Amino acid sequence: MNEIGLRVLVVDDERAIRRYLHAALNAQGYTVFEASGGKEALNMVVADRPDLIILDLGLPDMDGVEVTRQLREWTHTPIIILSVREQESDKIDALDAGADDYLTKPFSSGELMARMRVALRRSVQTTSEPVFELDELKVDLARRLVIVAGQEISLTPTEYDLLRILVQNAGRVLTHHQLLRQVWGGAYETEAHLLRVNMSNLRRKIEPDPTRPHYIITEPGVGYRLRTET
């Protein structure tokens, strides 16, 4: 993917963080705009039309979740939120409001780049890939086939749906709510144990070592993510 020329809006009230992100992103070829508050950010999205927004949740003038919500009213620009640990509920709210992914401060540049890549790829994808492949796992959505280490494995319809959603959002975090809604329907949003049991079964079937999951990563307190690169 050609990253040169891609425009990123960095929204954070801390000057040091903006400086660091600006430098790191520049080095990767991105063009960087900066905003220090929510209102400023909203204006700049309209004015400069960035390709990706990195949004800090702890803004002084507006709630980051609110910014996300407002943006999602009219744009699909991928949003990655930055937050501190201990604020799982904020992350979940933002993700449910439409943010694409999150990063917990302090984060490494590697993580940042990886998430950005995933988010940008999805945003430019017009058609979804029918086949997902990573290491020993291969999922063929068109033919509803799941192959692990060359062996076809059978999943229950629910387990398959679960895996499908993850594949369709590969690389991106999905909150428990989002998974429950998409697999079971809106009425089951609070039936977390359904998700757990099925996830546990799924893992046992596709993971080489269920206690050290390689493909489906638990995002503690937030949700799950299907790994896309090793």
Partner 1 sequence: MCPVPSGNRPDPDELLARVQAEEKQQKHGRLKIFFGYAAGVGKTYAMLEAAHQRKAEGVDVVVGYVETHKRVETETMLRDLELIPRQSLTYRNIQLSEMDIDAVLRRRPRLVLVDELAHTNAPGSRHAKRYQDVEELLAAGIDVYTTLNIQHLESLNDVVAQITGTKVRETVPDRVIDEVTDIELIDLPTEELLNRLKEGKVYVPEQAERAIEKFFRQGNLTALRELTMRRAAERVDDQMLDYMERRAIPGPWPAGERLLVCVSPGAVSERLIRTARRLADELKAEWYAIHVETPQQAGMSTEQRDRVDRMLRLAEDLGAKSISLPGQSVTETVTNYARSHNVTKIIIGKSRRSRWYEWLRGSVTDQLIRQSGPIDVYFVNSEAQPSFKQTEHLWLPHRPWRRYLWGVGLVIAATSICALVAPYISPTNLVVIYLLSVVITAIFLGRGPAILASILSVASFDYFFVPPHLTLAVSDTEYILTFIGLLSVSLVISYLTAQVREQAEAAQRREAQTAALYELGRDLTATVGLEAVAKTIISHISQTFSREVAIFLPEDGKLKLYTASSGLTVAENELAVATWAFEHGQLAGRGTDTLPDASMHYQPLKTTRGVIGVLGVKPSSPGAYLSPDQRRTLDAFVNQVALAIEGARLVEQARQTELLEATEKLQTALLNSISHDLRTPLVSITGALSSLEEASPVLDEEVRRSLIETAREEADRLNRLVGNLLDITRIEAGAMRIHREAYDVQELIGSTLEQIGERLKDRPLNVDVPEKLPLVPMDFVLVSRVLVNVIDNALKYSPAHLPIEIRAQTSDKYLKITVADRGEGIPTEDLERVFDKFYRVQRPDNVSGTGLGLSISKGIVEAHGGNIQAENRRGGGTIITVSLPLEGTKDG
Stretch in the footprint of partner 1 (CB under 8 A) among 41-49, 74-82, 116-124, 190-198: 190-198
Q: Residues touching partner 1: how many (CB under 8 A)? A: 20
Q: Are 37 and 59 in contact (CB under 8 A)?
A: yes
Interface with partner 1, residue 200, by CB under 8 A: yes
The residue from 164, 177, 203, 225 that contacts partner 1 (CB under 8 A) is 203
Shortest Cβ 224–partner 1 spacing (Å): 10
Distance CA 10, CA 3 (A): 16
The residue from 218, 223, 226, 230 that contacts partner 1 (CB under 8 A) is 218
**CA angle (222, 224, 226) in 5-degree steps:** 150
Is 171 exposed, middle or buried (CB count within 10 Å of its CB: 0-12, 13-18, 19+)?
buried
Stretch in the footprint of partner 1 (CB under 8 A) among 17-25, 71-79, 95-103, 218-226: 218-226
Interface with partner 1, residue 174, by CB under 8 A: no
Interface with partner 1, residue 106, by CB under 8 A: yes
For β-strands 223-226 and 173-175, DSSP reports them as antiparallel
Interface with partner 1, residue 164, by CB under 8 A: no
Distance CA 187, CA 74 (A): 27
- CB nearer partner 1, residue 91 or residue 164: 91
Q: Are 208 and 214 in contact (CB under 8 A)?
A: yes
